[in-house]
Chain A
Amino acid sequence: MSQVAIIVNGKARKADVEPRMLLVHVLREQFNLTGTHLGCDTSQCGACTVLVDGRSAKSCTIFAVQADGSEVTTIEGLATDGQLHPLQKGFWDAHGLQCGYCTPGMIMSAVTLLRDTPDPTEAQIREGIAGNLCRCTGYQHIVDAIQLAAGRR
Chain B
Amino acid sequence: MSSRIFGSGIRRREDPRLITGAATYTDDLTMPGMLHAVMLRSPHAYAKITRIDTSRARQAPGVIASYTGADVNLNAMPCAWLPPNSSLKIAKYPTVAVDTVRYVGDIVAVVVAETPEQGYDALELIDVEYRPLNASLDPQKSCAPGAPQLHEDVPSNLAFQWTVSGGDVDAAFKNADVVVKERIVQQRLIPNAMEPRAALAKWAGASGELTLWNTTQNPHILRYLTSVVTGIAEDKLRVIAPEVGGGFGCKIPAYPGEFLAIFASRKLNRPVKWTETRSENYQATTHGRDHVQEVELAATKDGTILGIRARSWSAMGAYLSTAAPGIPTILHGLMLSGVYNVPAIKEDVYGVYTNATPVEAYRGAGRPEATFIIERMVDKLAAELTMDPVAVRQKNLIPKFENGHSVATGLTYDSGDYPGILKKLLDHVNYEALRKEQAAARTAGKIMGIGVGTYVEICGLGPSQVASAVGFQGGLWESAIVRVHPTGKVNVFIGASPHGQGEETTFAQLVAAEIGVAVDDVKVVHGDTETTPMGWGTYGSRTTAVGGAALVLATRKVKEKAKLLAAHLLEAAVEDMDYDDGKFFVKGSPDKAKTIQDIALMANLSWNMPPGMEGGLEASMFYDPPNFTYPFGAHLAVVEIDGDTGDVTLKRYVAIDDCGPQINPIIVEGQVHGGVVQGIGQALWEEAVYDANGQLVTGSMLDYALPRADRLPNIEVLSTVTPSPHHPLGLKGIGEAGTIASTATVYNAVMDALAPMGVKTLRMPFTPERVWRAIHAGGKSGGN
**Which residues of A pack against B, CB within 8 Å?**
18, 20-21, 28, 33-42, 44-45, 47, 74-76, 78-79, 84, 88, 91-93, 95, 97-104, 107, 122-123, 125-127, 129-130, 132-143
Cα distance, A131 to B507, chains bound together (Å): 34
Contacts of A127 in B (CB 8 A): 709-710
Which residue of chain A has the shortest Cβ distance to B16 in the bound complex? A92
Contacts of B670 in A (CB 8 A): 95, 98, 136-137, 141
B15 lies within 8 A of A91 (CB): yes
B706 lies within 8 A of A133 (CB): yes
How many residues of chain B get a CB closer than 8 Å to chain A's CBs? 59
Contacts of B457 in A (CB 8 A): none
Cα distance, A99 to B191, chains bound together (Å): 14
Interface residue B576 (Cβ < 8 Å from any Cβ of A): no
0/1 interface trace, chain B 114-134, chain A, CB 8 Å (1 if under): 000100000000000000000
B195 lies within 8 A of A44 (CB): no
Contacts of B391 in A (CB 8 A): none
Shortest B158–chain A CB gap in Å is 33
Top 7 closest pairs, chain A to chain B, by CB: A35-B21, A101-B245, A100-B18, A99-B500, A138-B677, A138-B673, A44-B701
Interface residue B20 (Cβ < 8 Å from any Cβ of A): yes
Secondary structure class of chain B's binding surface, majority of residues = loop
**Which residues of B pack against A, CB within 8 Å?**
9, 11-12, 14-25, 27-28, 117, 191-196, 243-246, 248, 277-279, 499-502, 666-667, 669-670, 673-678, 700-702, 706-712, 714-715, 738
Contacts of B701 in A (CB 8 A): 40, 42, 44-45, 133
B20 lies within 8 A of A99 (CB): no
B248 lies within 8 A of A107 (CB): no
Shortest B104–chain A CB gap in Å is 16
Choice from B14, B700, B708 contacting A100 with Cβ under 8 Å:
B14
Cα distance, A126 to B707, chains bound together (Å): 12
Shortest B311–chain A CB gap in Å is 32
B20 lies within 8 A of A79 (CB): yes
Contacts of A21 in B (CB 8 A): 117
Q: How many A-B residue pairs have CB under 8 A?
A: 175
Choice from A39, A92, A133 contacting B196 with Cβ under 8 Å:
A39
B709 lies within 8 A of A142 (CB): yes
Known: A97-B19, A137-B670. 4 other contacts (CB 8 A): A98-B674, A136-B246, A139-B673, A140-B712
B674 lies within 8 A of A135 (CB): yes
Shortest B193–chain A CB gap in Å is 6
Which residue of chain B has the shortest Cβ distance to A75 in the bound complex? B21
A–B complex contacts, Cβ < 8 Å, 11 sampled: A18-B117, A34-B24, A35-B22, A39-B195, A95-B670, A130-B709, A134-B194, A135-B248, A137-B674, A138-B678, A138-B738
Shortest A75–chain B CB gap in Å is 4
Which residue of chain A has the shortest Cβ distance to B704 in the bound complex? A44
Cα distance, A136 to B15, chains bound together (Å): 14
Known contacts A39-B278, A136-B246, A136-B674: A100-B710 contact under CB 8 Å:
no
Contacts of A97 in B (CB 8 A): 15, 18-19
Cα distance, A152 to B539, chains bound together (Å): 38
Known contacts A39-B195, A41-B279, A135-B194: A100-B500 contact under CB 8 Å:
yes
A101 lies within 8 A of B195 (CB): yes
Cα distance, A38 to B708, chains bound together (Å): 18
Choice from A35, A42, A98, A122 contacting B500 with Cβ under 8 Å:
A98
Shortest A83–chain B CB gap in Å is 11
B246 lies within 8 A of A126 (CB): no
B709 lies within 8 A of A143 (CB): yes
Which residue of chain B has the shortest Cβ distance to A131 in the bound complex? B708
A138 lies within 8 A of B194 (CB): no
A41 lies within 8 A of B278 (CB): yes
Cα distance, A127 to B711, chains bound together (Å): 9
B677 lies within 8 A of A139 (CB): yes
Cα distance, A39 to B677, chains bound together (Å): 19
Which residue of chain A has the shortest Cβ distance to B279 in the bound complex? A41
Contacts of A92 in B (CB 8 A): 11-12, 15-16, 19
Cα distance, A98 to B15, chains bound together (Å): 8
B246 lies within 8 A of A107 (CB): no
Cα distance, A88 to B501, chains bound together (Å): 19
Choice from A37, A74, A101, A129 contacting B709 with Cβ under 8 Å:
A129
Which residue of chain A has the shortest Cβ distance to B500 in the bound complex? A99
A88 lies within 8 A of B678 (CB): no
Choice from B20, B500, B709, B710 contacting A75 with Cβ under 8 Å:
B20
